[in-house]
C-alpha cells in the first residue's frame, strides 16, 4: 500500500491506525510557498527516520496544482477548488503506486479536522475507478488512535500549520485572522479597556489593573489572551487563581504568583501594563 501524506501531524493518526506503514508519497503541489512545503516535508522526514518508513517521492510541482484548479481559485475552502486539489493529489498517488508495483492507496487527509471525510473517500473511489488502483477508505480523524495522536503531536512538538496549504487558503486565513482581531479590539473598546494590548506575552495584574478589570475579568482575559498572567497572592485569591494553569470558561490561563517586590522589579524593567 502507498500512503499519500499531506503533513506530519496528519500522518501521526494515520500511522497509529494503520500500525504498519512502509511507503509514503509526499505529493502536495498545492502548498505555498516553497518554504512552507519544505517545512512540512522536513517534519515528515523526521518521522520517517524515527519510524523507519520510506518516502517514495516528494517532488514539488505547484504548476500542476495551478493548472488543475484553474477557474476555481476564489471558490473558498471546502469548495470545488478543494475537490480538485484532493483529486489531483490522490490521482498522482495512484499513478505512483502503479509505477512502483503497489495496488492500493490511502491518504492522511482523512486525519484533518477541517475536511469532509465522506467527500475525500468519494474522491478516492473516483480515483480508484479511473486508475484501477484500490483506494482504501479511512477515517483517521476518529477513534482512540486519533486522541493518542493529538497527545503525541503535542508532546513531540510536531509542527502544525495554521492554514490548509495553498496561496488562497493562506490569504483566506490571514483575512479571517484580521477580522477576528478587529472583533476582539471592538469588544475590548466596548468594555472601556482599550488601553490594554491584545496577545501580550506577559500581563501584570497589580492593584491598579485589578480595579479596572475585575468586573469583566473572564471576558477580558479571553479577549486579550495573555501568554502568562503575573500577579500577587492577594489579587490571585480575589480572582480565584492559582499558580500554574487555570481554566477560565474557554481559556487556559498560565498564572505566576510573585511577591510585590518582584512585581515592582518586573515593572521597572518594562513599565507598561501589558506587553
Ligand atoms: S484550501 Fe486546502 S484543500 Fe482547498 S485548494 Fe487549498 S490547499 Fe487544497
CATH, domain range 2-172: 3.40.50
* pLDDT value, residue 7: 97
Distances (CA, A) of 273 to 111, 200, 224, 246, 259: 42, 10, 12, 21, 17
Q: What is the mean pLDDT of residues 194-215?
A: 94
Q: Show the CA angle centred on residue 197, arms to residues 239 and 238, nearest 5°.
A: 5
Which of 76, 82, 172 best tests ligand 1's pocket when mutated (most atoms within 8 Å of CB)? 82
Q: Residue 274: is its pLDDT beyond 80? A: no
CA–CA separation, 115 vs 77, rounded Å? 9
Dmax over CA atoms of the chain, in Å, equals 73
Which of 74, 85, 174 best tests ligand 1's pocket when mutated (most atoms within 8 Å of CB)? 85
Helices (H), 138-206: 143-155, 167-190
Q: Is 122 exposed, middle or buried (0-12, 13-18, 19+ CB in 10 A)?
A: middle
For the chain, give every residue range classified as CATH 3.40.50.
Answer: 2-172
| Residue 256 backbone class (left: φ over 0; alpha: ψ -120 to 50; beta: rest) | beta
Q: Residue 271: is its pLDDT beyond 70? A: no
Mean pLDDT, all residues of the chain? 95
For 3, phi and psi rounded to 5 degrees? -100, 120
Residue 164 in contact with residue 114, Cβ under 8 Å?
yes
Pick the residue whose CA is nearest to atom 6 on ligand 1: 166
Note if the pTM is more than 0.75: yes
CA–CA separation, 108 vs 88, rounded Å? 15
Q: Residue 273: is its pLDDT beyond 60? A: no
Amino acid at each position: 500500500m502507498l500512503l499519500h501524506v499531506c503533513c506530519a501531524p496528519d500522518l501521526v493518526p494515520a500511522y497509529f491506525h494503520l500500525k504498519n506503514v512502509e511507503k509514503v508519497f509526499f505529493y502536495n503541489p498545492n502548498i505555498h510557498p516553497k518554504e512552507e512545503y519544505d517545512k512540512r516535508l522536513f517534519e515528515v522526514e523526521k518521522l520517517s527516520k524515527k519510524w523507519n518508513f520510506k518516502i517514495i517521492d516528494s517532488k514539488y510541482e505547484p504548476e500542476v496544482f495551478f493548472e488543475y484548479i484553474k477557474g476555481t481559485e476564489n471558490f473558498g475552502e471546502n469548495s470545488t477548488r478543494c475537490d480538485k486539489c484532493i483529486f489531483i493529489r490522490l490521482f498522482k498517488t495512484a499513478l505512483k503506486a502503479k509505477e512502483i508495483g503497489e495496488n492500493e492507496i490511502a491518504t492522511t487527509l482523512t486525519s484533518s479536522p477541517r475536511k469532509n471525510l465522506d467527500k475525500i473517500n468519494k474522491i478516492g473511489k473516483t480515483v480508484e475507478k479511473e486508475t484501477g488502483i484500490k483506494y482504501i477508505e479511512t477515517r483517521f480523524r476518529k477513534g482512540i488512535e486519533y486522541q493518542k495522536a493529538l497527545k503525541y503531536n503535542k508532546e513531540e512538538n510536531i509542527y502544525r500549520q495554521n492554514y490548509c496549504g495553498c496561496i488562497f487558503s493562506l490569504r483566506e486565513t490571514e483575512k479571517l485572522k484580521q477580522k477576528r482581531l478587529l472583533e476582539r479590539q471592538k469588544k475590548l473598546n466596548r468594555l472601556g479597556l482599550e488601553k490594554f494590548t491584545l496577545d501580550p506575552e506577559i500581563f501584570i495584574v497589580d492593584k491598579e489593573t485589578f480595579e479596572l478589570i475585575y468586573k469583566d475579568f473572564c471576558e477580558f482575559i479571553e479577549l486579550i489572551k495573555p501568554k502568562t498572567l503575573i500577579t500577587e497572592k492577594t489579587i490571585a485569591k480575589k480572582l480565584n487563581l492559582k499558580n500554574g494553569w487555570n481554566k477560565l470558561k474557554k481559556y487556559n490561563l498560565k498564572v505566576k504568583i510573585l511577591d510585590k517586590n518582584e512585581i515592582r522589579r518586573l515593572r521597572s524593567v518594562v513599565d507598561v501594563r501589558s506587553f
